[in-house]
C-alpha cells in the first residue's frame, strides 16, 4: 500500500455564507454575497505561492464573484471588435462593440489571437460576464488573462508565461478592453471539417438552439433571483435568440481568410442585434 | 459502464445500437448518439464547480477527472436503475495513483471491450487520422507513451497504446471489474446473438425483438446515409466520411503483403488469442517483429541523448579543427589532458571535455537522412568521457547467462555482436554491446549497462535471423546496421567472467582456454587500449594499474575457433557452459 494519502475531492458549498470552495492541495476560497473574495492558497515548496493564488483567483473565485454580483456568465470569450459595425458607426463617436466567441477554448484562442492582430481587444477569456442594459446584452471585462496551450502558442509564434509550475497553459500578453461593450453577435468556433464552409450565419431554429447553450448553468449561475421561474427563463432565451449567431469553422492554414469571413459577416448592416423589450421589468 | 475499444474498432457503431435501443425509431439521429463524452476531458468542472481547469496543474487535472467520473457513476446509478449508461473510451485500462484512478472501481460496474481485426483497423485508421496505410500500420504497433496531460486543453492524458497493448490492458486478470469481449466481426455476422448475452450480463434489459430493431436502425449503411445527408459531428477533420466501409476482411484487398506481414508481426500473439487467423510464416514473423521493435526503440530515443544517470551532457554543434598541444595516437584522434577529439571519415566529429560534456558535430548525408548517427555518442563519447573520469572501458559485449554476467571481448570483427545477439536469441539477457564500462568495488569489477545499439554486419544479421536491409544503417558510410534491443536494467552488475574471442588462432575445434599468469594481462590489453587513447588519457601508470586489477577481478577465458568448419552454436554452447576445453 502507498503511504501517500488519497486526496479528497474539491468541494464548493453554496449553502453557507460566504460561499466556501476547497481544492485539496491547492487551497480554498470564500466568496461573499457582495462578491468580495478571500484566497487562501496552500503552500507548496515546488511552486511559487503567487501562481497558486492566481489559479484560485482567476480559475475559480472570479467567476463565482461575478455570479454573486448579479452577472450572468456567457460561455465564451469576448473581444471588442477592431472596427465599429455598420449600424454602430451610424452613431457619432460610436465605440466598437463586442463579439462573443463560443466553442472549445483551445480553438477560440486562435481566433482571438488573429483578431488581436487586427486591432481587437480582449474583454474576457473563457466566459464573459453579461447584463441586459437598455434592451441590449452588454459584455463586461474580467481580469483573468488569456490562456493558450504552449504547443499551439509555439505554432503561432506567440510568447507567453507559464501560469503554473506543472502545466502547458501559457498566459498571453494581449491588449485588453477595460470597459463594458454591447454584444454585436456570437460566433461558435470549431475546427473545419471537410466540406464545411468557414462561416455560416444561423437562422430560425438554429439561433434558438445556439441561444439555449449560451449561458452557463450550474455553479456559475446564481440560484435565486428573478430568473428562477420558467417564464422569465424563456424570456431571457428569446432575448438571447435576437442576437446574430454564426458558426465559424477555422483551419490554421486559412485563419486569415476565416477571420476575414467572420468580420465580413458581423460588419453587414443587416447583421445586428434586434433590440429587445427594454422595459425596466426585463432588466436585472 | 465502460465501452472500451481501440479507435476505429466499432465503438461508435455499438453506441448507435445502444442509442437506438433507448430511442423511438423516428427520433434516432446519427448526431445524437449517447455516451460520446470521453473521460479525459475535464471541461465539465467549470459548470459543475465554477473551476476553470486550465488553471490546474497536471496532477490536479487527473484528480478532478477521477472525481467527475465517479460523479458520472453516481448519476448513472440514480437515473437508470434498469438501463446502464455506457461511457465511451479509447484509452488503455490502467490503475492510476490513489485518488487519481482514471477508471475508478467505485464508479464502474463492468466494461464491454470491442475488438476488431487489426488488419481492418489499419485500413480504417489511415483515412481517419490522415495517414497513409504504412503510417497506420506503424501507429497500430507503436505503444505510445502516456504523454502529458494538457491542462490548457482541459484534458488529462488519453493513452490508447498499441492495438495489442490496448486489448491486453482490458483483458488482463488484474482488471477489477468484469470485461465482456465483443468482436466486431461477430457483430457483423450476427449482432443480435452477439450482443444479447452481453447486454443481459450488464443489465441492459431488452427483448430480442427490441435488440433486432435497434440493430436494424443502426445498420451501417443507414449510418453512412445519415452522414451523407446531415454530416456527422464526431468525425475527424482529416476525413470526408466517418462511416467508411464497415466491413470485415476488407484488408485482403486494401493491404499489401508487406503491410500484412508487419501487422501480423506486431500483433501475432493477441491476434491468435482473439481468433484472427495469421497468414505469415512464424519464424519470419518473429524476426520481423524484432526488427520492427528495434526501429521503434530507436525512434523513441533521441540519438544524441544518453541516460541522465551517466552524467554526460551531449550537445550537437561545431567542434574545433585542432586541439592545441594535442597528442595524436591515431591521425584522426587528438587528446589533451582535459579534452579528446575524434574526427570521422564522413566529416563528423566528437569532442569530449572533462568526462561530462560532449559536443557532436554531425554532418548528415543529405541523400541518407534516415541513417543513424547515435554510434558517435553511444560509443565514442561514452568511452572518452569514462576515460577522462579515470575509469576503464572494456571493448566487450556483456550478457547475463543464467545469472552469471559474462563480458565477451574481442577485436573489431571478432564476432562480439553476433555472439551476444545469438546468446540473447537463446534467452539470455543482453546487458550492453561493445562498450562495457568498468568500475571496481574492492577486488571485483562491476559494470552498469546502458542502452545502445548493437552494430551488425550483413553476415552477423543473417546469423541471428534478422533482415539486414530492414534495419537502420549506421550513418557515416559505415557498412553496419544498428539493432536496439530492449533497455537493460540500470543497476550495476558484477562481472563474473570475461571471454575473449580469438578467431584465427590455431585451432581444430572451438576451444575455451582459461588464461593464467601474465597471459591474463596480455589477453585484455588489446581490448582496453581503445586505439591508444586509454593510456594517454589515464596515464600509463593508472592504465596498467586498472588493467591489472581487471585481469585479477574475474576468470578470463580465450575462445578460439578454427578458420572454418565451426558453427555459431558450438561457440554459444562453449560460452554458456564456461567449462575450459583446452
Model confidence pLDDT, tens digit, residues B198-253: 999 988 888 999 999 988 888 888 888 877 777 777 777 777 777 777 778 899 99
- Chain B residues within an 8 Å CB radius of A47: 57
pLDDT, chain B, mean: 90
Q: Cis (ω within 30 of 0) for the bond into B11?
A: no
| Residue A1: band (very low, low, confident or very high) from pLDDT cuts 50, 70, 90 | very low
| Residue percentage of chain A with pLDDT more than 70 | 89
Name which residue leads in pLDDT, B33 or A76.
A76
The CA distance from B154 to B171, in Å, is 29
Q: Does residue B530 form part of some domain?
A: yes
- Distance from the Cα of A166 to chain B's closest Cα (Å) equals 5
DSSP states along B114-176: EE--HHHHHHHHHHHTT--HHHHHHHHH--------BGGGTB-------HHHHHHHHHSTT-S
Q: How many CB atoms lie within 10 A of CB A204?
A: 8
Whether residue B60 has pLDDT greater than 60? yes
Check if the beta carbon of residue B270 is closer than 8 Å to that of residue B164: yes
Name which residue leads in pLDDT, B233 or B312.
B312
- Given this model, what pLDDT does residue A235 score? 80
- Given this model, what pLDDT does residue A276 score? 53
Residue B493 lies in domain: 365-577
The CA distance from B340 to B328, in Å, is 10
CB contact under 8 A, B237 and A194: yes
Q: Does residue B35 form part of some domain?
A: yes
Q: Does residue B426 form part of some domain?
A: yes
Check if the beta carbon of residue B364 is closer than 8 Å to that of residue B409: no
Domain stop point among B254, B281, B302: B254
- Chain B residues within an 8 Å CB radius of A59: 51-56
Phi, psi of B398 (to 5 degrees): -130, 130
Whether residue B114 has pLDDT greater than 50? yes
Domain stop point among B254, B271, B289: B254
- Chain B residues within an 8 Å CB radius of A23: 51, 60
Residues B371 and B240 in one domain: no
Name the burial class of residue B354, with classes exposed (0-12), middle (13-18) and buried (19+) by CB atoms within 10 angstroms of its CB. exposed
Q: Does residue B268 form part of some domain?
A: no
- The residues facing B479 across adjacent strands are none
Whether residue A157 has pLDDT greater than 80? yes
- Given this model, what pLDDT does residue B253 score? 94
Average pLDDT of B536-558? 94
Considering only alpha carbons, which residue of chain B is nearest residue A1? B98
Please tell me whether residue B206 adopts helix, strand or coil conformation: coil
The CA distance from A19 to A8, in Å, is 19
Q: What is the pLDDT of residues A171-189, one digit of tens each?
A: 999 999 999 999 999 999 9
- Chain A residues within an 8 Å CB radius of B50: 12, 21, 60, 63-64, 67, 218-220
pLDDT, chain A, mean: 88
Average pLDDT of B99-106? 90
Name which residue leads in pLDDT, B18 or A271.
B18
The CA distance from A70 to A57, in Å, is 18
The CA distance from B301 to B159, in Å, is 19
Whether residue B323 has pLDDT greater than 80? yes
Whether residue A279 has pLDDT greater than 60? no
Considering only alpha carbons, which residue of chain B is nearest residue A11? B49
CB contact under 8 A, A192 and B237: yes
- Given this model, what pLDDT does residue A283 score? 46
- Given this model, what pLDDT does residue A281 score? 41
| Residue B32: band (very low, low, confident or very high) from pLDDT cuts 50, 70, 90 | confident
Residues B400 and B538 in one domain: yes
- The residues facing A100 across adjacent strands are A78, A186
Q: Would you state the cell numbers that stand for residue B498, as one nine-digit string?
A: 570475461
Q: What is the pLDDT of residues B146-196, one digit of tens each?
A: 677 889 988 888 899 999 999 999 999 999 999 999 999 999 999 999 999
**DSSP 8-state symbol, A58:** I
The CA distance from B166 to B189, in Å, is 24
B404 Cβ neighbours under 8 A, 6+ residues apart: B496, B497, B578
DSSP states along A78-119: EEE-SS--HHHHTSTTPPP-EEEEEE-HHHHHHHHHHHHHTT
- Given this model, what pLDDT does residue A271 score? 76
Quote the distance between the C-alpha of residue A99 and its chain's center: 10
Q: What is the pLDDT of residues A220-254, one digit of tens each?
A: 887 654 455 677 778 888 889 999 999 999 998 89
Average pLDDT of B29-58? 83
Average pLDDT of B125-143? 93
Residues B102 and B224 in one domain: yes
| Residue percentage of chain B with pLDDT more than 70 | 97
Q: Does residue B299 form part of some domain?
A: no
B286 Cβ neighbours under 8 A, 6+ residues apart: B265
Domain count for chain B: 2
The alpha-helical segments, DSSP class H, found in B35-128 are: 45-49, 58-79, 118-128
Closest residue to A191, CB basis, from B57, B154, B237: B237
Q: Would you state the cell numbers that stand for residue A35, as one nine-digit string?
A: 462578491
Name which residue leads in pLDDT, B345 or A63.
A63
Closest residue to A147, CB basis, from B48, B51, B54: B54
- The residues facing B396 across adjacent strands are B409
Q: Does residue B312 form part of some domain?
A: no
Residues B387 and B511 in one domain: yes
Please tell me whether residue B546 adopts helix, strand or coil conformation: helix
Whether residue B42 has pLDDT greater than 90? no
- Given this model, what pLDDT does residue B25 score? 72
Q: Does residue B174 form part of some domain?
A: yes
Whether residue A273 has pLDDT greater than 80? no
Domain stop point among B254, B274, B306: B254
The CA distance from B158 to A148, in Å, is 20
Return the residue matching grid coordinates 568500475: B439
Mutation target to probe the A interface, by most A beta carbons within 10 A, among B40, B44, B54, B73 is B54
Q: Does residue B130 form part of some domain?
A: yes
CATH of the domain at B43: 3.40.50.300
Q: Which domains does chain A have, with CATH numbers?
A: 11-67 (no CATH), 72-282 (3.40.50)
Amino acid at each position: 500500500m502507498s503511504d501517500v494519502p488519497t486526496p479528497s475531492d474539491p468541494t464548493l458549498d453554496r449553502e453557507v455564507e460566504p460561499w466556501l470552495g476547497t481544492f485539496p492541495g491547492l487551497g480554498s476560497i470564500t466568496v461573499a454575497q457582495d462578491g468580495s473574495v478571500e484566497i487562501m492558497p496552500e503552500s507548496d515548496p515546488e511552486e511559487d505561492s503567487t501562481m497558486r493564488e492566481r489559479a484560485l483567483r482567476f480559475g475559480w473565485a472570479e467567476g463565482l464573484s461575478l455570479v454573486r454580483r448579479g452577472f450572468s456568465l456567457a460561455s465564451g470569450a469576448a473581444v471588442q471588435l477592431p472596427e465599429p459595425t455598420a449600424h454602430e458607426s451610424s452613431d457619432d463617436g460610436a465605440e466598437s462593440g463586442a463579439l462573443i466567441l463560443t466553442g472549445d477554448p483551445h480553438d477560440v484562442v486562435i481566433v482571438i489571437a488573429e483578431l488581436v492582430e487586427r486591432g481587437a481587444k480582449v474583454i474576457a477569456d473563457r466566459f464573459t460576464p453579461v447584463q441586459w442594459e437598455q434592451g441590449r446584452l452588454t459584455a463586461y471585462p474580467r481580469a483573468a488573462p488569456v490562456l493558450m496551450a504552449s504547443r499551439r502558442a509555439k505554432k503561432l509564434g506567440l510568447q507567453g508565461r507559464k501560469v503554473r509550475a506543472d502545466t502547458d497553459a501559457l498566459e498571453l500578453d494581449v491588449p485588453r478592453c477595460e470597459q463594458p461593450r454591447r454584444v454585436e453577435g456570437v460566433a461558435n468556433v470549431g475546427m473545419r471539417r471537410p466540406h464545411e464552409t468557414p462561416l455560416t450565419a444561423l437562422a430560425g431554429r438554429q439561433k434558438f438552439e445556439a441561444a439555449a447553450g449560451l449561458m452557463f448553468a450550474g455553479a456559475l449561475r446564481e440560484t435565486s433571483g428573478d430568473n428562477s421561474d420558467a417564464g422569465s427563463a424563456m424570456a431571457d432565451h428569446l432575448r438571447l435568440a435576437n442576437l446574430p449567431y454564426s458558426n465559424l469553422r477555422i483551419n490554421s492554414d486559412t485563419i486569415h481568410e476565416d477571420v476575414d469571413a467572420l468580420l465580413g459577416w458581423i460588419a453587414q448592416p443587416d447583421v445586428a442585434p434586434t433590440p429587445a423589450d427594454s422595459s425596466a421589468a426585463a432588466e436585472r | 459502464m465502460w465501452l472500451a475499444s481501440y479507435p476505429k474498432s466499432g465503438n461508435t457503431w455499438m453506441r448507435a445500437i445502444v442509442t437506438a435501443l433507448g430511442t423511438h425509431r423516428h427520433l434516432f439521429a446519427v448526431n445524437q448518439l449517447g455516451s460520446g463524452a470521453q473521460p479525459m476531458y475535464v471541461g465539465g468542472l467549470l459548470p459543475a464547480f465554477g473551476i476553470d481547469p486550465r488553471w490546474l496543474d497536471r496532477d490536479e487535472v487527473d484528480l478532478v477527472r477521477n472525481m467527475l467520473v465517479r460523479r458520472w457513476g453516481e448519476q448513472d446509478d440514480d437515473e437508470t436503475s434498469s438501463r446502464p449508461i455506457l461511457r465511451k473510451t479509447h484509452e488503455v485500462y490502467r490503475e492510476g495513483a490513489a485518488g487519481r484512478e482514471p477508471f475508478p472501481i467505485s464508479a464502474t460496474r463492468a466494461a464491454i471491450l470491442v475488438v476488431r481485426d487489426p488488419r481492418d483497423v489499419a485500413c480504417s485508421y489511415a483515412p481517419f487520422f490522415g495517414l497513409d496505410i504504412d503510417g497506420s500500420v506503424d501507429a497500430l504497433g507503436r505503444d505510445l507513451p502516456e504523454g502529458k496531460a494538457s491542462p490548457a486543453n482541459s484534458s488529462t492524458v488519453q493513452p490508447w497504446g498499441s492495438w495489442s497493448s490496448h486489448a491486453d490492458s482490458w483483458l488482463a486478470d488484474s482488471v477489477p471489474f468484469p470485461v465482456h469481449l465483443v468482436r466486431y466481426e461477430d457483430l457483423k455476422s450476427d449482432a443480435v446473438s452477439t450482443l444479447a448475452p452481453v447486454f443481459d450480463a450488464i443489465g441492459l434489459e431488452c427483448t430480442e425483438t427490441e435488440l433486432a430493431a435497434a440493430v436494424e436502425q443502426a445498420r451501417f449503411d443507414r449510418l453512412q446515409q445519415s452522414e451523407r445527408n446531415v454530416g456527422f459531428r464526431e468525425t475527424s477533420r482529416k476525413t470526408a466520411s466517418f462511416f467508411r466501409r464497415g466491413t470485415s476482411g476488407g484488408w485482403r484487398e486494401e493491404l499489401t503483403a508487406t503491410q500484412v506481414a508487419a501487422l501480423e508481426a506486431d500483433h501475432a500473439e493477441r491476434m491468435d488469442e482473439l481468433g484472427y487467423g495469421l497468414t505469415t510464416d512464424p519464424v519470419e514473423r518473429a524476426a520481423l517483429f524484432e526488427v520492427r521493435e528495434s526501429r521503434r526503440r530507436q525512434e523513441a530515443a533521441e540519438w544524441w541523448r544518453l541516460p541522465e544517470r551517466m552524467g554526460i551532457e551531449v550537445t550537437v554543434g561545431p567542434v574545433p579543427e585542432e586541439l592545441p598541444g594535442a597528442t595524436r595516437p591515431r591521425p584522426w584522434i587528438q587528446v589533451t589532458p582535459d579534452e579528446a577529439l575524434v574526427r570521422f571519415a564522413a566529416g563528423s566529429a566528437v569532442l569530449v571535455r572533462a568526462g561530462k560534456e560532449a559536443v557532436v558535430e554531425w554532418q548528415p548525408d543529405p541523400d541518407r537522412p534516415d541513417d543513424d548517427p547515435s554510434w558517435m555518442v553511444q560509443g565514442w563519447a561514452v568511452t572518452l568521457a569514462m576515460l577522462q573520469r579515470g575509469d576503464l572501458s572494456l571493448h566487450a559485449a556483456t550478457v547475463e547467462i543464467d545469472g552469471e554476467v559474462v563480458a565477451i571481448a574481442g577485436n573489431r570483427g571478432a564476432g562480439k555482436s553476433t555472439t551476444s545477439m545469438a546468446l540473447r536469441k537463446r534467452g539470455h539477457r543482453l546487458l550492453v554491446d561493445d562498450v562495457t564500462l568498468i568500475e571496481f568495488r574492492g577486488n571485483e569489477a562491476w559494470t552498469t549497462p546502458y542502452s545502445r545499439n548493437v552494430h551488425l554486419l550483413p553476415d552477423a544479421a543473417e546469423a541471428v535471423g534478422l533482415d539486414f536491409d530492414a534495419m537502420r544503417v549506421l550513418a557515416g558510410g559505415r557498412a553496419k546496421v544498428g539493432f536496439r534491443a530492449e533497455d537493460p536494467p540500470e543497476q550495476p552488475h558484477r562481472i563474473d567472467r570475461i571471454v575473449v574471442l580469438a578467431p584465427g588462432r590455431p585451432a581444430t575445434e572451438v576451444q575455451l582456454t582459461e588464461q593464467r599468469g601474465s597471459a591474463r594481462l596480455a589477453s585484455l590489453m588489446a581490448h582496453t587500449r581503445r586505439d591508444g587513447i586509454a593510456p594517454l588519457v589515464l596515464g600509463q601508470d593508472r592504465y596498467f594499474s586498472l588493467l591489472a586489477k581487471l585481469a585479477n577481478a574475474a576468470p578470463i577465458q580465450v575462445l578460439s575457433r578454427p578458420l572454418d568448419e565451426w558453427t555459431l552454436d558450438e561457440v554459444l554452447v562453449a560460452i554458456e557452459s564456461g567449462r575450459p576445453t583446452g
